[in-house]
Structure 1
């Protein structure tokens, strides 16, 4: 459907019957030469909100602004529509609605800065606008891609932070009332990561999905999913998924049981793209025993040796399914033995409960522990991608 001045795109919003998939209504929104919808969310009043961009004129250096439209959930009638113009090029990419019905929109301005806007749900009035730029964090570029809000009413924004050729994921939690930054967390490495979507689970913890390219090769992206602590921004776990081709995550939702579902695209070499959808179990808390048989669990940070840690099996958890390559105790990885291809792990029943435990030896020199710390946290993954976490007491002793 055209718009009268040569532009080829309009918003198209469709409501389906949840039981049968029958179309209940369709709504076309046409403002400028190009109107492109990028995200949709439904509030507690049952009314959908769509966000995207409006650009024009079509034939001569089109200027783009945020465009956000709220529809009546029963009829598709437009209730309000608003724009945001920074004076430059503005691209809205994500939208969410809080428990009070107020709307949060996130996007990028001038390809370098993240803009988040809170609108009053009843009439679209702007409550606040917050922009954090590449200069805020001392980077070369910041891009906003996704926004979600939990029951606390405070939005979580995710996107990409680039300095030079290295790109990582930046996730920021904002105060829902003022837009002030509560916390911001960078996740990534030299491999290069990209975030596209975020959701907040019933536990209040956000989950971000996107992709990582561990080798930098063509079509070598893997799904990346990261879960954060909603209060502090600390990373609780992260997992990747690789089909052997190009795998790019773009959307995530978290169910009532806390299990995230991520979706995106996958392509094998020479083939076309297909949908790829994965459901993860929520992070599993397991029991561990640092230095089995020892009490207290004394650690000398100057030691050049190793420390044993047992991941305890149980009636509901098979410790043999833990991938030794992913085990990290307070930042220390498992020692490699032989020709450097075998991990120093073995199986035994250290607590004599009838269940097999996995005992691994981690490199003491790699510990990220400070004198005075009293707890060490172990993080790992099973071979099928389930994140696990456990902790035990420690006592740091002098040389």
Structure 2
């Protein structure tokens, strides 16, 4: 983190023998900077969000306009005060049109994909919008050769601004196959993409792509593939070259008793592929696998069999090629919690990944707390977007957490966004150009009239200390100890006795200090520190 010249206040945990916690006095991360809520009469169901290089938030999804539904694209200005331009909608044939994925190219133009009903079935629809004014640069409808239902689920862009669409299409037997489509930046050529590559699983069942990732020389996709047993799906990952040729496939590495599905995928700097999702061996379990770049051999696989980790929703890789996954865990006492884990990037001995840290976050026992998305900042710290549902009959609230990337320390307290009387859920999360944390999502009214929302949080360049402890050394002295999480200018320690009305500064400590002995105490007196 960058060095700060502003002093920070040290907040100390309550300690025994008459010492207590005060309310935090620092201006820390997790503060809500702004919130933008649409307030239209139409239902606006957000399916994906992203942000551009200047911190504008782009949200896409589907409007409910009665008998038909149109897709929409909204761009919330970086200051959170307004839309950059009026919401754009798309209607192919007065049927259902749904935007499912969005990406930003190097010019901050917006590429949206999804599907549209042509009057008989669904076709994949892709549109490139001018990021500055929202006008359409090009649009293309993709109809597979079998003329069945074609659905887009994912999008990626390479360094040359070429566009890759992932999804699934019906083949001549009526079964779904993976599909990957490539467009050049300028759009279709002779009303066609550069190439399209379908992938039919070995059992010739239904195969559905859920996520796609692109790097400089290849792309990876993951999803579900039906086995020879009808309605039995397995976790499946494929790697392709950027010319559309097939590189390798990697099925899940064991036979389970239920369904498995890949939900997210990433590629590290060495070209290795990491996919996460879930499998079912009698109960749902998180499944994460790292596959070798060249041939897809499993470098390691982590299936949390018999544990309470239910599934991985999202994966992210940091600059060291360490792997972060977030999802959901379950215990009888706490119910569903946000589960986040960091795996070491270096290849392990024996194929067992090294867990650097893991955390299950519970808002309140009985609540449903579910991790959905994550992002890593330039300093290696991790931000998780989740939601928390009040099990007593309340609403879903957006929950954003910050973890120290190195040790998994929770650097923020829970940050809940609760638009009164509504369910609120995040869809995507990212880091803005000023380091602020940007979240896109949706809220609804009791009548399910969805609206899109965008949020900006202070990332917390100065994070509070954690792991705070206090040890009584004598009747007149206490030892305070903490973990330093910031590049601060210094620490200030203040103290007051219970009978005193205000705090007094008792020490100014050098940057990086992690302990202090407070002396001159009086017995049978409660002291407060900050």
Normalising by the smaller structure, the TM-score range is 0.5 to 0.7
User: SS in structure 1 opposite 2:506?
Assistant: coil
**Residue in 2 that maps onto 1:365:** none
Alignment of 1:353-368 (within 5 A): none
**2:450 aligned partner:** 273
Q: Within the alignment, does 1:52 sit opposite 2:226 as a pair?
A: no
Change (3 A) 1:122 1:275: farther
TM-score normalised by structure 1 residue count: 0.65
Correspondence for 1:65 = 234
Q: Deviations over 1:37-94 (max 9, x none)?
A: 2222222x2533221111246xx64111122222333x44433333224211322112
Matched, 1:254 2:431: yes
Give the Cα separation in 1 of the matches to 2:361 and 2:186. 37
Q: Which residue of 2 aligns with 1:294?
A: 506
Instruction: Tell me the equivalent position of 2:338.
Output: 169
| Shift of residue 158, structure 1, vs aligned partner | 1.4
Report the 3-state secondary structure (helix = DSSP H, G, I; strand = E; otherwise coil) of the residue aligned with 1:208. Answer: strand
Offset, 1:272: 3.8
Query: What SS does the corresponding residue of 2:170 show, helix, strand or coil?
Result: coil
* 1:297 CA displacement: 5.4
Q: Within the alignment, does 1:182 sit opposite 2:356 as a pair?
A: yes
2:269 to 95, 99, 123: 99
Q: Is the 8 A contact 2:272 2:290 kept in 1?
A: yes
Which residue of 192, 196, 199 maps to 1:29?
199
**Relative to structure 1, is the Cα distance of residues 56 and 150 closer, same or farther in structure 2, using a 3 angstrom cutoff?**
same
1:19 Cα deviation from its structure 2 partner: 11
- Residue 378 of structure 1 corresponds to which residue in structure 2? none
Instruction: Give the CA deviation at 1:2.
Output: 1.5
Q: Distance in 2 between matches of 1:269 and 1:299?
A: 58
Match of 1:390? Answer: none
Compared CA separation, residues 55 and 283, structure 1 to 2 (3 A): same
Q: CA deviation at 1:96?
A: 1.3
Q: What is residue 377 of structure 2 aligned with on the other side?
A: 201
Matched, 1:234 2:409: yes
What CA distance in whole angstroms lies between the structure 1 residues aligned with 2:232 and 2:522?
58
Deviations 1:12-45 (A, max 9, x none): 556573999x9766544343432222222222x2
Q: Assess if the C-alpha contact under 8 Å between 2:424 and 2:441 holds in 1.
A: yes
1:191 and 2:367 are equivalent in the alignment: yes
Partner of 1:213: 389
Partner of 1:374: none
Which residue is 2:324 aligned to? 156
Larger Rg: 2
TM-superposed CA distance for 1:242, in Å, is: 2.0
| 1:81 alignment partner in structure 2 | 249
Which stretch of structure 1 is more off in the superposition, 254-263 or 241-250? 254-263
Q: Deviations over 1:297-339 (max 9, x none)?
A: 5697997756264xxxxxxxxxxxxxxxxxxxxxxxxxxxxxx
Equivalence for 1:147: 315
Secondary structure at the residue paired with 1:146?
A: strand
Structure 1 stretch displaced more, 243-252 or 281-290: 281-290
Contact map agreement 1:197 1:209 (CA 8 A) in 2: yes
Show CA shifts across 1:234-277 (max 9, x none): 11114222223111223323356543333333222213434433
Does 1:127 find its partner at 2:303? no
Where structure 2 has 5 or more consecutive residues not aligned to the other structure, the ranges are: 1-168, 349-353, 464-490, 497-504, 508-516
What secondary structure does 1:86 align onto? Answer: coil
- Are the counterparts in 2 of residues 202 and 256 from structure 1 also a CA contact under 8 Å? no
TM-score, normalization: structure 2? Answer: 0.50
Q: Which has the higher contact order (CA 8 A, sep 6+)?
A: 2
Deviation at 1:181, TM superposition (A): 1.2
Counterpart in the other structure of 1:359: none
